[in-house]
Amino acid sequence: MSAAGVALMLGGAGILLAAGPAMAAEVSYRTECIPPSISGLPPVQGTTKVQITAPAEAKVGDEVDVVWKTVEAASKNPDILDLDKDTVKPTGVIKLGGAASGTLAMEGPRQNPPIPKNSPMVLPDMKGKLKLDKAGEITLTPDKYTINVSKPMSTDTKCSPKETVAVGATIKVTAGGGSSSGGTTTSGGTTTSGGTTTSGGTTSGGGTTASGGTTSGGTTTSGGTTSSTGGTTASGGSTAGGSSSGGGGGQTDFPGKEVAVSFACQAPGPASITSKVTINAKKNGGSYDLTVKTAKGVMNSPAALPKGALKPSMAVKIGGADSGTVTVTGAANPEPLEAGKPVDLTDMTGTYKPGASGKATLSPGKLTISVTLGGSPIVIPCEVKGSVQASLTLDTEKQAGGAVGGGSSTTTSGGGGLAETGAEDGGALRALALVAGTVILLGGAVFTFTPWARLRR
């Protein structure tokens, strides 16, 4: 072979080497993962192992491909349920250093093999494009990332480093293909050396959840409630708890007064809910048809929920001359709910049959939110915090088979809705995080979209 031919071969080999990928060393770092708020799980500590691949050398003006390979996720898929094929999607951020600053947004496809219970998480590679605008050495360091699971609803687990992370790859950028603009830009909208960064790669798929519930403030309930403090009773007296019935008189509709109630909820619900509640009654023979209204926007949706997934119920407390509870239930949400957006609970209805004669008071009691997504419902109990005023007082006449009637025990009449659940009826809430059916998440126990169906023993 001629000397010219050998020189050409060597020159070509040199070009290939220059354009080849940088040696990708494996980087390990301690990671804290935050499961969705709806899961009720604490932050989880784990270790992430990553390889960053990028060209070893390039020129100013080039746009190069960068690949993030997750060698080992922070935890296994827990021994709860199998994850379906193509339900997991990662996004992440790479920090730029040296001749560049800012971040590079990384994104992977929703592509994974079926992941059995108690087996390693398998995440697809994430990719990003980096535009080189300045000569020098640019370092690429893996940073925070988000794991999104799409079924049965979209939820996120967000993971971030808990120690200084080593550089994953270095690109040597030489002058040549264009003028130096003083910075490095990325296709994900990540920043130049001027310092303005974007959050391009850490978009979440809708898993953000409400941690404290939205207070209703002075918002009135839908349909409008009529306050009747000291409403006139047919028996000739005024009551502090709202309107009263006249026993066998001609009045049939008894509007209650709006009262403020604070609820403390168990996971996976919000920590608390504050709402105005109104109990209205309509006489029906010897019984009363109850309608319970809450204020608009009593809580934020923990995730994107389809139409018909969320249903409220309440145990209305009976006091005064009578005692017991009446379960009232509402219809499921008539429209799909967006993650993080306020939720209006539907009006709840039930029937109160008096168990004693005299003045009976009706007050808001335990609120239960049930979410059903094709399996057993996820039940979120919310207990009343502190004292609460009666919304309605009725002059009642004892009916056969009615409420307790002055006794100390509690019975449920009418309504036929959701059974009460929670610690008091043996429904111990278990770690859960996402839906009746699929969940995963990252961290020592994460990759824990634990099914809500495991709420009860």
CATH number at residue 98: 2.60.40
What is the model's pLDDT at position 328? 96
Q: What is the pLDDT of residues 114-160, one digit of tens each?
A: 988 878 888 999 999 999 999 999 999 999 999 887 776 677 888 89
Tally the C-alpha atoms within 13 A of residue 270's C-alpha that lie toward its C-beta.
25
Position of tokens 């953000």? 208
**CB neighbours of residue 319 within 10 Å:** 15
What is the model's pLDDT at position 457? 33
For residue 208, is it within any domain?
no
What is the model's pLDDT at position 42? 77
Domain membership of residue 311 as a residue range: 253-425
Q: Are residues 165 and 281 in the same domain?
A: no
Q: Are residues 278 and 393 in the same domain?
A: yes
What is the 8-class DSSP label of residue 166?
P
Last residue of a domain, one of 202, 233, 262: 202
Rounded to an integer, the average pLDDT of 301-306 is: 80
User: Considering only CA atoms, which of 141, 190, 188 is closest in space to residue 169?
Assistant: 141
What is the model's pLDDT at position 284? 92
For residue 231, is it within any domain?
no
Task: Tell me the three state secondary structure of residue 445.
Answer: coil
What is the model's pLDDT at position 349? 96
Detail the DSSP E strand segments found in 287-411.
Answer: 287-294, 299-300, 310-320, 324-330, 342-343, 348-352, 358-363, 367-371, 378-385, 392-396
Rounded to an integer, the average pLDDT of 13-27 is: 53
Contact between 340 and 75 under an 8 Å Cβ cutoff? The reply is no
Contact between 443 and 75 under an 8 Å Cβ cutoff? The reply is yes
Provide the domain count of the chain: 2
Cα→Cα distances 152→75, 84, 303, 390, 435, Å: 21, 10, 11, 40, 6
For residue 2, is it within any domain?
no
Give the span between the Cα atoms of 427 and 412, in whole angstroms: 18
